[in-house]
Amino acid sequence: MPTINRYVDISEVERESKKDYIDRHSPFIICDNKAKKGEKFKVKVKVGNEYSHPDDFDHYIAYVQLWDGDRLLGQATFTPGTLGNEKSQVEVDFYIIPTKKLKLSAMSYCTKHGLWESDPVEVEVID
């Protein structure tokens, strides 16, 4: 089983040296905290909040996944060069139709630094 990394609070002393590495690999979920039952709901997953990730032949974000608990909702897969071989932040918009409360999490996979998990986001589903 691969090691799963998570975005963590960093002490001020280590902040800049570690934040770049951790931030550029961590997926962040961006969405409303309420959704209407049976209606299309947009969930953006962005890899890196402040820092960009490389897009090199041997070092790139290979995929981004969106989960509801232990149920995979969707995945976007990338090949090297998708971002023009430039440092950038991978962003994926997922559109789902919720029927019940969501407990969303996202995963991103870096070909050099492994699997990274977001903080969970709960979404209330209203009628």
List the CATH number of the domain containing 27.
2.60.40.730
| E strands present in 1-127 | 4-6, 27-30, 34-36, 41-47, 61-68, 71-77, 91-96, 102-110, 114-117, 121-126
pLDDT exceeds cutoff 80 at 4: no
The tokens 């492994």 sit on which residue? 114
Query: What does the pLDDT read at residue 19?
Result: 74
Show the domain range for 105: 4-126
pLDDT digits (tens, 9 = 90+) for 11-49: 555 666 677 788 899 999 999 999 999 999 999 999 999
| Total number of domains constituting the chain | 1
Average pLDDT on 67-94 reads 94
Query: What does the pLDDT read at residue 12?
Result: 56
- Separation of alpha carbons 125 and 115, rounded Å: 29
126: tokens are 């209203």
Longest dimension (CA), the chain: 48
- Mean residue pLDDT of the chain comes to 90
- Separation of alpha carbons 61 and 80, rounded Å: 8
Average pLDDT on 100-112 reads 97
Query: What does the pLDDT read at residue 15?
Result: 62
